[in-house]
Amino acid sequence: MRDEKCLPRALLSTGLLLAAGLALQGCGGGGGGSGGFLPIPAPASAPAPPAPPPAGPSVEQLKSSCNALKGQVIEGVTVTGTVRFEAKAPLYTAGFCQVLGTRAPFLDIEIDVPDNWTGRYWQQGGGGFDGRIASVVTTDPGGAVTAVSPVLALKGAVYAASNGGNRANVPAQAAPGVWIGGTDDARQSAADYAYAAGGTTLRFGKAVAKAFFGKTPSHSYFNGCSNGGRNAYIAAQRWPDEFDGIVAGCETMDMGGAVTGLMNTAAKAATPAEISPAQYAAAYAAAVTACDAGDGATDGYLANPGACALPAASLQCGQPGANADPTLCLSAAQVPTLAGLLGNLTLAGGATAYSKYNWTNFAPVSAIPGVPALGVTSYGGLGGGFAFLATNDPLWFGAPPPGTAPAPNLASFDLNRDYYVFSSGLQRAGADHDRNAIAAYVASGRKLLSWHDAGDPLLSANDHMRNFATMSSTAKALGLADPRSNARLFIVPASSHGAGGNLNEVDWLAAIIDWVEGGKAPEQLTYNFRVGATARTMPVCESPRYPRYNGSGDVNSAASFTCTP
**Distance separating alpha carbons of residues 231 and 130, to the nearest angstrom:** 11
CA distances (Å), origin 284, targets 277, 292, 315, 455: 11, 11, 10, 11
Closest CA to 100 of 89, 86, 110, 88: 110
**Distance separating alpha carbons of residues 497 and 251, to the nearest angstrom:** 10
In this predicted model, which residue has the larger pLDDT, 56 or 256?
256
Please, which residues have CB within 8 angstroms of residue 457's CB and are 6 or more apart in sequence? 357, 360, 361, 362, 364, 365, 495, 496, 497
Mean pLDDT of 291-317: 97
So what's the pLDDT on residue 100? Answer: 98
So what's the pLDDT on residue 367? Answer: 62
Mean pLDDT of 118-145: 96
What would the pLDDT profile of 503-533 be if each residue is shown by its tens digit? 999 999 999 999 999 999 999 999 999 999 9
So what's the pLDDT on residue 32? Answer: 36
Helix (H) or strand (E) run with residue 199 in it? helix 197-213
Closest CA to 171 of 216, 106, 78, 215: 106
Please, which residues have CB within 8 angstroms of residue 541's CB and are 6 or more apart in sequence? 490, 491, 493, 524, 547, 563, 564
Polymer length of the chain: 565
Q: What is the CA radius of gyration of the chain?
A: 28
The SS3 assignment for 401 reads coil
**Distance separating alpha carbons of residues 77 and 102, to the nearest angstrom:** 5
Are the CB atoms for 188 and 210 separated by under 8 Å?
no
Which sequence spans correspond to the domains of the chain? 57-217, 222-253+436-565, 257-429
CA distances (Å), origin 536, targets 132, 321, 442: 31, 31, 34
So what's the pLDDT on residue 546? Answer: 97
CA distances (Å), origin 45, targets 14, 56, 459, 472: 10, 32, 69, 57
Mean pLDDT of 418-423: 98
| Type of residue numbered 121 | Y
So what's the pLDDT on residue 377? Answer: 55
Are the CB atoms for 247 and 223 separated by under 8 Å?
yes
The SS3 assignment for 221 reads strand
So what's the pLDDT on residue 407? Answer: 86
What would the pLDDT profile of 359-415 be if each residue is shown by its tens digit? 999 987 766 666 665 444 578 889 999 999 999 999 998 766 666 677 899 999 999
In this predicted model, which residue has the larger pLDDT, 534 or 29?
534
**Across 24-38, 45-59, 322-336, 500-514, least confident range:** 24-38
Closest CA to 69 of 81, 61, 84: 81
Closest CA to 193 of 207, 179, 172: 179
Closest CA to 67 of 167, 211, 214: 211
- CATH ID of 222-253+436-565, from 1.20.120, 3.40.50, 3.30.110, 3.30.1490: 3.40.50
Mean pLDDT of 303-307: 97
Q: CA 140, 144, 149: angle at the middle one, nearest 5?
A: 80
Are the CB atoms for 126 and 163 separated by under 8 Å?
yes
401 preceded by cis ω (within 30°)? yes
Helix (H) or strand (E) run with residue 99 in it? strand 96-103
**Distance separating alpha carbons of residues 111 and 97, to the nearest angstrom:** 8
- The helix-helix angle for 197-213 and 59-68 (nearest 10°) equals 140
**Distance separating alpha carbons of residues 499 and 185, to the nearest angstrom:** 34
So what's the pLDDT on residue 378? Answer: 75
So what's the pLDDT on residue 1? Answer: 44
Share of the chain above pLDDT 70, in %: 87
Closest CA to 99 of 124, 144, 132, 67: 67
Find residue 564's DSSP bridge partners: 546
Helices first, then strands: H and E counts in the chain: 14, 18
Average pLDDT, the chain: 90
**Across 68-82, 352-366, 436-450, 551-565, least confident range:** 352-366
Closest CA to 102 of 140, 70, 134, 126: 70
| Type of residue numbered 367 | A
Pairing state of beta strands 524-531 and 487-492? unpaired
So what's the pLDDT on residue 187? Answer: 98
336 preceded by cis ω (within 30°)? no
**Distance separating alpha carbons of residues 168 and 138, to the nearest angstrom:** 18
> Is 12's pLDDT higher than 50?
no
- The helix-helix angle for 415-429 and 255-266 (nearest 10°) equals 140
What would the pLDDT profile of 187-237 be if each residue is shown by its tens digit? 999 999 999 999 999 999 999 999 999 999 999 999 999 999 999 999 999
> Is 152's pLDDT higher than 70?
yes
Q: CA 75, 79, 81: angle at the middle one, nearest 5?
A: 160
Closest CA to 410 of 442, 456, 379: 379
Are the CB atoms for 29 and 17 separated by under 8 Å?
no
Closest CA to 462 of 365, 343, 359, 357: 357
In this predicted model, which residue has the larger pLDDT, 447 or 34?
447
> Is 14's pLDDT higher than 50?
no
So what's the pLDDT on residue 269? Answer: 87
| CA terminus-to-terminus distance, the chain | 38
Find residue 539's DSSP bridge partners: 526
So what's the pLDDT on residue 325? Answer: 98
CB count within 10 Å of CB 95 equals 18
